[in-house]
């Protein structure tokens, strides 16, 4: 599989990193039928992990639906589904709706089929500050700037950022990293390049002109480390990122759990 994004080449620390992209590039595609992956989660026992909405969010949800339908170039029937979910099942991305309530940008609805270590039930209703409590320094260094970006988003502008981590599974739906982490000591070092994966989230922000909300999209791309190692200059840049990542960033992503497996792969790179 080709590597679509390599954000470790840009940053090994927490940063905003938002850049404008063309509205036509809002969704990257790459998945034939996202509903086949998302519907079983939404309709089954995992429902509270992958879907949540608050009262009063339906008008903004419907606005997201209309924007997504325009972006994919075909109408979307809700067939009784909440509008945000009806939109989310047509794209590979997860869709998070932010609305300003009591002076704070809050998550008013979300479809989170590929959540990275959090669940819809946990985060629904949270403000930007509350969402980012576990991220060291977010409140002091980033919150005011991120809030200003949300407040000042212009209609039609789409902003993109990427983040990255290393995990030991290609699974997209990862509400709880506990079982994955517990299994790390049993990984055969000879298979590390196939078992370890770079997990990259490509996120976008876009204002909803009518309701004044903001839609935050999250597309998760997962590649085995062997895809990085296949290109020596790319591997060298990954090795550099691994060795120089900020201590807070390493601790948050639990990169130390993988050090013994990654070290032989990047040795000499």
SS3 193: helix
Q: How many other CB atoms are found less than 10 A from the CB of residue 22?
A: 7
Q: Which region among 63-71, 74-82, 127-135, 235-243 touches ligand HEM (by CB under 6 A)?
A: 127-135
Identify the residue whose tokens are 């691994």: 242
Q: Which region among 36-44, 62-70, 128-136, 258-266 touches ligand HEM (by CB under 6 A)?
A: 128-136
Tell me: does residue 266 bind ligand HEM (CB under 6 A).
Answer: no
Whichever of 49 and 146 has its CB closer to ligand HEM, that residue is 146
Tell me: does residue 153 bind ligand HEM (CB under 6 A).
Answer: no
Tell me: does residue 123 bind ligand HEM (CB under 6 A).
Answer: yes
CA angle 210–66–151, rounded 5-degree value: 35
Tell me: does residue 97 bind ligand HEM (CB under 6 A).
Answer: no
Q: Which of residues 2-21 bind ligand HEM (CB under 6 A)?
A: 14, 16
Q: Which of 224, 92, 126 shows the shortest CA–CA distance to 168?
A: 224
- The size of the interface with ligand HEM (CB under 6 A), counted in residues, is 16
- Nearest residue to the partner ligand HEM, using Cβ: 163
Q: Which of 58, 100, 101, 132 binds ligand HEM (CB under 6 A)?
A: 132
Q: Which region among 45-53, 132-140, 168-176, 179-187 touches ligand HEM (by CB under 6 A)?
A: 132-140
Q: Which of residues 100-119 bind ligand HEM (CB under 6 A)?
A: 107, 118
Q: In Å, how far are 1, 167, 174, 189 from 171, measured between CA atoms?
A: 15, 9, 7, 20
Tell me: does residue 146 bind ligand HEM (CB under 6 A).
Answer: yes
Tokens at residue 84, please?
A: 């945000």
Rounded CA-CA distance 171/16 in Å is 26
Q: In angstroms, what is the minimal distance from the CB of 223 to ligand HEM? A: 17
Q: In angstroms, what is the minimal distance from the CB of 43 to ligand HEM? A: 22
Rounded CA-CA distance 195/266 in Å is 15
Q: Which of 169, 148, 168 shows the shortest CA–CA distance to 159?
A: 148
- Asked whether 63 and 213 are in contact (CB, 8 A), the reply is yes
Q: In angstroms, what is the minimal distance from the CB of 34 to ligand HEM? A: 18
Q: How many other CB atoms are found less than 10 A from the CB of residue 188?
A: 9
Give contact residues for ligand HEM (rule: CB under 6 A): 14, 16, 96, 98, 107, 118, 123, 131-132, 134-135, 142, 146, 163, 205, 216
């Amino acid at each position: 599989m080709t590597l679509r994004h390599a954000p470790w080449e840009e940053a090994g620390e927490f940063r905003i990193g938002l850049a404008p992209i063309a509205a036509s590039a809002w969704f990257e595609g790459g998945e034939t039928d996202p509903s086949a992956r998302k519907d079983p989660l939404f309709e089954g026992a995992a429902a509270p992990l992958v879907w949540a909405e608050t009262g009063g969010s339906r008008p903004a949800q419907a606005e997201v639906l209309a924007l997504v339908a325009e972006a994919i170039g075909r109408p979307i029937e809700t067939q009784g589904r909440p509008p945000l979910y009806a939109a989310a099942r047509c794209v590979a991305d997860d869709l998070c709706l932010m609305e300003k309530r009591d002076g704070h940008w809050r998550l008013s609805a979300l479809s989170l089929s590929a959540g990275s270590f959090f669940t819809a039930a946990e985060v629904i209703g949270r403000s930007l500050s509350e969402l980012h409590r576990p991220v060291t320094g977010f409140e002091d260094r980033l919150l005011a700037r991120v809030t200003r970006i949300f407040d000042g988003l212009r209609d039609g502008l789409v902003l993109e950022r990427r983040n990255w981590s290393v995990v030991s599974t290609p699974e997209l739906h990862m509400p709880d990293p506990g079982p994955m982490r517990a299994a790390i000591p049993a990984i055969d070092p000879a298979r590390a390049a196939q078992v370890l994966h770079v997990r990259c989230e490509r996120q976008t922000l876009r204002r909803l002109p009518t309701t004044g909300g903001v839609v935050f999209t999250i597309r998760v791309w997962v590649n085995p480390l062997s895809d990085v190692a296949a290109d020596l200059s790319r591997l060298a840049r990954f090795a550099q990122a691994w060795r120089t990542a900020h201590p807070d960033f390493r601790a948050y992503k639990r990169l130390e759990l993988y050090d013994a497996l990654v070290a032989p792969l990047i040795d000499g790179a």
